[in-house]
Chains A and B, each alone.
Chain A
């Protein structure tokens, strides 16, 4: 029975692993940290899998456990905090030589998103993943109205970071 459960879980995880990678991409700055977080999310997903009833989509369930791990459960290593500070410094230098091409703008946008706090990142992540406000509010445990308000603030904050 346990083997069967394990098999079905790994199959689903293998299929949807990009969701985990995308969470890691937003919450980490280097490959080591990305792999560390990927590992922890995988463990948390497996631990929670027996409780997965199948009444929601596996992917929807993954967003929740993945974000919970990144925001709350995962213990950041010192190495990562250091790297983040370094990146912020690099961003300031680059912002001064701002180039208007789309590619350059995207690069700056990704860096700006990395400067947001954990909750703001979660909002941006779910937005980028095309989730509606109902799902965003259910994942974070806030009301739909507050999710909208916060999203607008995040958009403004990004604008300020990009055009200081």
Chain B
């Protein structure tokens, strides 16, 4: 006899083996807090939005020197333009995150549900990537502005010979690279742990289509 047929015969015999919850027991259960990965993902995405916004604005509120410098920077239309662009990008990501979170539905089929969760994760990934790229661009850019506006720094750097200059450039690139790599690894770790099982199951379903 087929193994599964034997199991099927037995499977439905156990109806009375399970605990039968009464109505009064079920009422409080439906209002308990969920611990689903969608909820965790939601909190992480909110934390990330807040984190990157704070990173850009905390210096403005905590350092007078920084505030004074930023205020003079706003006189530069390029800087103002970049700030407005930054705001618009954050708004765009908030909208995309809201939309993709809304599209996650436990009543979809298993594959579609997994795809909506992975899509949400992708939106967060692009947001992080955007921030990392901005950091990567802004570090050399701030060096450039510093070089042009800070006379002391300008004189110091202008006095460098080519070997010293190469070391300086290499140091800047290296420090930026290490910083970005660490942040990237940190994200891989968080999502790797959170979505390991989902990725495995999604691959299993995808494999069936080949």
Contacts and interface: CB of A to CB of B under 8 A. Distances in A.
A48 B11 CA distance: 28
Contacts of B107: 48, 51-52, 61, 64-65, 68
B27 interface: yes
A88 interface: no
Contacts of A124: 4, 7
Contact of B198 (A51, A67, A72): A72
Contact of B109 (A74, A118, A141, A159): A141
B139 interface: no
Contact of B32 (A43, A68, A119): A43
Contacts of B8: 127-128, 130
Nearest to B11: A128
B192 to A, nearest CB: 14
Interface in B31-79: 31-38, 40
Residue picked from B113, B114, B197, most chain A C-beta under 10 Å = B113
A29 B184 CA distance: 36
A10 B30 contact: yes
B106 A69 contact: yes
Contact of B26 (A14, A44, A117): A14
Contact of A6 (B4, B27, B106, B113): B27
Given A109-B6, A110-B7, A128-B4, A68 B30 contact: no
Nearest to A67: B110
A25 B19 CA distance: 12
B111 to A, nearest CB: 3
A132 B113 CA distance: 21
B112 interface: yes
Contacts of A118: 197, 200-201, 204
Contacts of B110: 67-68, 71-72, 119, 122, 139-141
A72 B29 contact: no
A69 B108 CA distance: 11
A161 to B, nearest CB: 10
Nearest to B25: A14
Given A65-B106, A72-B198, A42 B30 contact: yes
A90 interface: no
A46 interface: yes
Nearest to B36: A73
A77 B72 CA distance: 53
B109 A138 contact: yes
Contact of A146 (B15, B37, B198, B209): B209
Given A118-B197, A159-B3, A146 B30 contact: no
A30 interface: no
Interface string A114-126: 0001110010100
A136 to B, nearest CB: 10
A58 interface: no
Contacts of B10: 106
Interface string A35-62: 0000110111111100110000000010
A10 B27 contact: yes
Which 6 A-B pairs have CB atoms at the shortest separation, nearest pair first? A141-B111, A141-B109, A21-B18, A46-B30, A73-B36, A146-B208
Given A9-B30, A14-B26, A72-B117, 11 more contacts: A42-B26, A46-B30, A47-B106, A48-B105, A48-B107, A64-B107, A69-B36, A74-B35, A109-B7, A119-B110, A146-B208
